[in-house]
Amino acid sequence: MDVLERIKQQVESNAVVIYMKGTPELPQCGFSSRASQALHACGVDFAYVNVLADPEVFQNLPRFANWPTFPQIYVSGELIGGCDITLELYQKGELKPMLEDAVAKKKTA
């Protein structure tokens, strides 16, 4: 399977997915750590892809949504952004309802 097809499948099959350096338990960069902590604080299950463990995804994900940096957070199949945008949404109280809505829609689909 083509790497861009694989990324598309991951994004579409998960209500919330973060492409990050490392894992939520062992992040390998500060931005990935802060973004995954914000997702975790919302109390919603989310998927993750460790881009350091998958060089193909690491090299090609920036082309997928024309976003050059990591982490990348996708909600309901759409890129919401990286660390700064995710933290801003969290601080405004907008992230949790967005994630809960995405998970609820995925369960009923």
Is 42 part of any known ligand binding site?
no
DSSP state of 27: B
CA 37/CA 32 separation, integer angstroms: 8
* Structural domain count, the chain: 1
Per-residue pLDDT of the chain (109 residues; tens, 9 = 90+): 799 999 999 999 999 999 999 999 999 999 999 999 999 999 999 999 999 999 999 999 999 999 999 999 999 999 999 999 999 999 999 999 999 999 999 988 7
For residue 12, the enclosing domain spans 3-98
Instruction: Answer yes or no: is 89 within a domain.
Output: yes
CA 43/CA 39 separation, integer angstroms: 7
Instruction: Answer yes or no: is 71 within a domain.
Output: yes
Instruction: Answer yes or no: is 107 within a domain.
Output: no
Contact 10, 63 (CB under 8 A): no
The pLDDT value given to residue 11: 97
CA 102/CA 53 separation, integer angstroms: 27
The pLDDT value given to residue 109: 77
Instruction: Answer yes or no: is 108 within a domain.
Output: no
| pTM of the predicted structure, to 2 decimals | 0.96
The pLDDT value given to residue 39: 98
The token duo for 78 is 């759409």
Instruction: Answer yes or no: is 54 within a domain.
Output: yes
The pLDDT value given to residue 1: 77
The pLDDT value given to residue 72: 98
